[in-house]
Amino acid sequence: MTELGRIARELRGKIVELSHKAQTPHLASALSCVDILVAAYWGGSLDLRPEKAEDPSRDRLVFSKGHAATALYSCLAARDFFPRALLDTFAKPGSRLAEQPSPGCVPGMEVATGSLGHGLPIGVGMALGARIQGISNRVCVVMSDGECEEGSSWEAAMFAAAQGLKAVTAIIDYNKWQATGRSPEIMALDPLAAKWSAFGWNAVEVDGHDIVALASALGHAAAADRPTAIVAHTVKGKGVSFMEDDNNWHYRSPTAEELARARKELGLV
């Protein structure tokens, strides 16, 4: 097992545990983007470190699919942006860690999201702000496929291309499910990469569970002459066999027995 693969398994275990303990939904949405986040936080291309959390010239990761916050919370805790003990307060009354992140709830949480279609415009604004101030950093926006249905996402896509904001990289967690059905059937999302190309972006498609391929795509994006969209083909609920590609896990949270089975499958016991 590679080191990055081990990190991803541990994160998935934590995410399933958080969903079980707090009985919160969106578990499968969180599991599908774990490898994307591992590539972003551990892959070496982006500089996302707690020591730089307040540095104006830092690279920024905007997590636009706020409903999958347990994935980002687990990542940030594992990268020591905040104490791991805080993670166990998730969704408890009064906790800083709500089901969907609030502004500045923990270091590393660049933007409070939850309503879809907000992350990309904000990320594009951050990249424009950096350029105005002569800062050369990168802004990575992790999006769901469902929020590619929001007009605001495409407004930002057109503006970023017009402005040549090559510092922006959008990673789309294309797990082909949204809340109540298959995303490419509910809306004509396909061909998704071609849409981004048509909007003036450098669009690439990768296996969204191949951390090395994701990290490599992030590396190549840094050299692109325009903003990059990485369409990451993923499986909703990835990593736990009985959750994979089963959209009931958009809303369901696991029982103690299901948590134990998941942990066993992930090689954590």
Residues that bind other proteins (CB under 8 A): 56, 102-103, 110-112, 114-115, 117-118, 120-130, 132-133, 135, 151-152, 155-156, 158-159, 162-163
CA 59 to CA 219: how far, in whole Å?
Answer: 13
Q: 132 or 223, CB closer to other proteins? A: 132
Q: How far is the CB of 222 from other proteins (least distance, A)?
A: 19
Q: Which is nearer to other proteins, 85 or 132 (CB)?
A: 132
Handedness of CA 129, 134, 140, 146 (dihedral sign): positive
Q: Measuring CA to CA, which residue among 191, 133, 161 is closest to residue 153? A: 161
Give the residue with the Cβ less far from other proteins, 38 or 124: 124
CA nearest to 119, candidates 24, 33, 25: 33
Least Cβ distance, residue 185 to other proteins (angstroms): 25
The position carrying tokens 């969204």 is 208
Least separation in angstroms between CB 111 and other proteins? 7
Helices and strands: H and E segment counts in the chain: 11, 7
Nearer to other proteins, 126 or 230 (CB): 126
Q: How far is CA 243 from CA 26, 94, 232, in A?
A: 12, 30, 19
CA distance 200 to 179: 29
* CA gap 172, 144 in Å, rounded: 6
- Min CB(161)–other proteins separation in Å: 11
* CA neighbor of 26 nearest in space, from 177, 182, 174: 177
d(CA 11, CA 77): 10
Instruction: Select 34 or 68, whichever has its Cβ closest to other proteins.
Output: 68
- To other proteins, the closest distance from the beta carbon of 71 in angstroms equals 20
Nearer to other proteins, 146 or 239 (CB): 146
Q: Residue 8, Cβ neighbours under 10 Å: how many?
A: 25
Amino acid at 36: I
236 residue type, one letter: K
Q: Work out how close the CB of 24 gets to other proteins at its nearest, in angstroms, rounded to a whole number.
A: 21
Shortest Cβ distance from residue 170 to other proteins (Å)? 13
Q: Looking at beta carbons only, is 110 or 258 nearer to other proteins? A: 110
